[in-house]
Structures are given as structure tokens and as C-alpha cells.
Amino acid sequence: MKLTIVRLRRLSEQDILDLTKIWPEYSPKTLTMDDAHRIYAAKFNNRLLAAVKMTLRGAQAELDSLRVREATRRRGVGRYLLEELIRDNPGVNDWRMVDTGVEDRSVMAAFMQASGFRAQTGGWQKQD
């Protein structure tokens, strides 16, 4: 089965188990999912391998809490997740990623740079 990027709108029992592994910081049942607060995830064989939060304010979107499960890193999952969520939101022209909670800033910085974002105070901003 192929890797797909999905916007989560409600959580299955399996999603809850997977999100607990991706985000031990969060209790899945308390996550807000509405038009302004979105969660996108990478799914393979009906399991979530990565997730990111997106907060939408008009044409501006702020991303946070991007995490790919450790065993799946460096296989293009993070890149695909970011590309597809940007493609899913053509009305957004200002993309930021905040650095809150980032484990290893140098890894995240390399990833964000490879994804066309530039470092700024508090995170990264997508370049045109």
C-alpha cells in the first residue's frame, strides 16, 4: 500500500494509538480539529507515521509539532507530508513553522532548508 497524506477530521482507535506514539506530549482526545486547527498525517498500511499541526489565519498558516516516527526518518516522509499539505491549501501564501519543542534544531534546520524555508526568529518561513 502506498504512502498517503491525510487531513485528520476524526480519530479512529488506531489513529489514537499511532498519535500517542508520534506525540507522547499530547493526549489525542484533547486535540482540536476544525477549519482553523488542522492535523495532517502520513499514512501507510492504515498506520500513521508522521503528523503536523496547522493553524490557519486567513492566508497565513503556522505549522508546529511536525514529527516523523524515528524508525521512518530520512525516507522522504516529512518532505511528502509538507508538500502535500501545502498543495492542499492553495489559498495560503504565508507559511511558517515554529520551532517550539524541536528535539534537534540542526536536523530540523536542515530539513526546513531542504524544504524551501528560511530561518527566522522562532522558526522558519517559506520562501517564494
Which residues would be at the binding site for Mg ion (CB under 5 A)? Answer: 72-73, 75, 77
91 carries a ligand binding annotation: no
38 carries a ligand binding annotation: no
CA-CA-CA-CA torsion for 78, 83, 84, 89, nearest 10 degrees? 130
**Rounded to the nearest whole angstrom, what is the least distance from the CB of residue 9 to Mg ion in the complex?**
24
Does 39 participate in binding ligand ACO (rule CB under 6 A)? Answer: no
Does 122 participate in binding ligand ACO (rule CB under 6 A)? Answer: no
Sheet containing 123-126: which strands, arranged edge to edge? Answer: 4-8, 37-44, 47-57, 60-68, 94-98, 123-126, 117-120
77 carries a ligand binding annotation: yes
68 carries a ligand binding annotation: yes
Is the distance from CB of 39 to CB of 53 less than 8 angstroms?
yes
The interface partner of residue 103, options being ligand ACO, Mg ion, none and the CB cut-off 5 to 8 Å by kind, is ligand ACO
Is the distance from CB of 62 to CB of 100 less than 8 angstroms?
no
Q: Where do contacts with ligand ACO occur on this chain (CB under 6 A)?
A: 23, 25, 65-68, 73-79, 101-103, 107-108, 110-111, 114
